[in-house]
Amino acid sequence: MMLENRQVKLIDENGIRVDGRRPDELRPVKIEVGVLDNSDGSAYVEMGRTKIYAAVFGPKEVYPKHLEQPDRAILNCRYHMASFSVDERKPLGMTRREIELSKVIRQALETVVFLEEYPRTMIDIFVEVIQADGGTRTAGITAASLALADAGIAMSDLIAGVAVGKVEGRLVLDINDLEDKYGEADMPVAILPRLNSIVLFQLNGRMTLEEVKQALAMAREGINKIYQLQVEALKRRYSVNQIDEGQ
C-alpha cells in the first residue's frame, strides 16, 4: 500500500513534532463569538489549520412535531464537513462518520444545556468544518458550546475539547491530521472546565492504562488553556456591545 511506503518522521531527535511544536503544545488557537448575523448564536474556532463554524438556531417550534417533548427541549445537532475541507473532495451529504460525530457532539452538549428551561422546543446546532486538519470533533464541541452561550441559552458550563495522540511511542497534545493518520493512537476528550467532568471520551488505537491517565492529564492542561480563550472571546464580544438594563 501507498501509506506503508511513505516514511513520515513525526517526531525528530529533539522531540519536536512535524509542525514544529513541543509534545505538550497546542496549535495556535483563535476563537471568535457572534460571527454569523443570521443565527441566534454563533462561534468560530481555529486550531492551527482546523477551521470550524458553529451556529445555533432556537429555541423554536419543534419540527417534525411528533419529536416534541412536553417537559424539555430537544437538541438537534449536525456536524458536517464541507466538500472542500479535506485534500480529496468529500462528497456532499452526511457520511457514516459525520452522523456518528453529530451524535457524540449532541450527547456532550445535552449534559450542559438546561433543557427543562425550554419545554416543547428544539435547538438546532450546526457545526460546519471549513478546513479539516485533525481534532475537528473537539474543536466542533468547543465552538458549539460558545455558540449556545452566545444564543443566551441557559447552560451549566462551557465545554472545551482537545485530542491527545500517541506517535512514535510518545504522547502528544492536540494532534494534527498527519499525526492522526500515521500515529498509533488518537484520544479526543471534552471536559467541562469549571465542573471538571468528562463529557466526551473516545480512543482509537492502543494505549496502556498508564498512558491513558497521562494523556488525560495532558488533555486537562490543554483544555484549561482553551477555556481561558473561550471566556476571553465571550467577554470580548459583549464588552463592545453592552445591553440595556431597563428590563
Partner 1 sequence: MYYFSDKEIVVPGQLLTDDPSKSGPGTYVYNGKVYAAQAGLAKLRNGVITIIPVKSPYKPEPGDWVIGVVVDVKPNSVEVDLGGYNFAVIRYSEQMQPPQNVKIGDVVYARVKSSGLKGVLLDADDLRKIEEGIIISISPAHIPRLIGRKGSMINMIKRETGCSITVGRNGLIVVSGPTSEGEFTAISAIRLIASEAHSAGLTDRVAALLKRSKERVSGNDAGEQAG
Task: Answer whether 125's CB lies under 8 Å from 22's CB.
Answer: no
Which of 115, 143, 155, 199 touches partner 1 by CB under 8 A?
155
Minimal distance in Å, beta carbon 208 to partner 1?
33
Which of 53, 57, 79, 118 touches partner 1 by CB under 8 A?
118
| Of 7-15, 59-67, 84-92, 164-172: span binding partner 1 (CB under 8 A) | 59-67
Instruction: Give the residue with the Cβ less far from partner 1, 83 or 156.
Output: 156
Minimal distance in Å, beta carbon 196 to partner 1?
11
How far from the centroid of its chain's Cα atoms is residue 65's Cα? 29
User: Judged by CB under 8 A, does residue 179 bind partner 1?
Assistant: no
Instruction: Give the residue with the Cβ less far from partner 1, 161 or 165.
Output: 161
Instruction: Give the residue with the Cβ less far from partner 1, 82 or 198.
Output: 198
Residue with cell 464541507: 82
User: Judged by CB under 8 A, does residue 15 bind partner 1?
Assistant: no
Judged by CB under 8 A, the chain residues 64 through 103 that form the site for partner 1 are 70-71
Task: Answer whether 215's CB lies under 8 Å from 205's CB.
Answer: no
Q: How far is the C-alpha of 183 from the C-alpha of 167, rounded, in Å? A: 4
Query: How do 122-131 and 74-81 pair as beta strands?
Result: parallel
Beta bridge partners of 81: 129
How far from the centroid of its chain's Cα atoms is residue 90's Cα? 20
Phi and psi at 94, nearest 5°, equal -90, 125
Task: Answer whether 215's CB lies under 8 Å from 184's CB.
Answer: no
Interface residues toward partner 1, by CB under 8 A = 40, 58-61, 70-71, 112, 114, 118-121, 149-158, 192-195, 230-231, 234-235, 238-239, 241-247
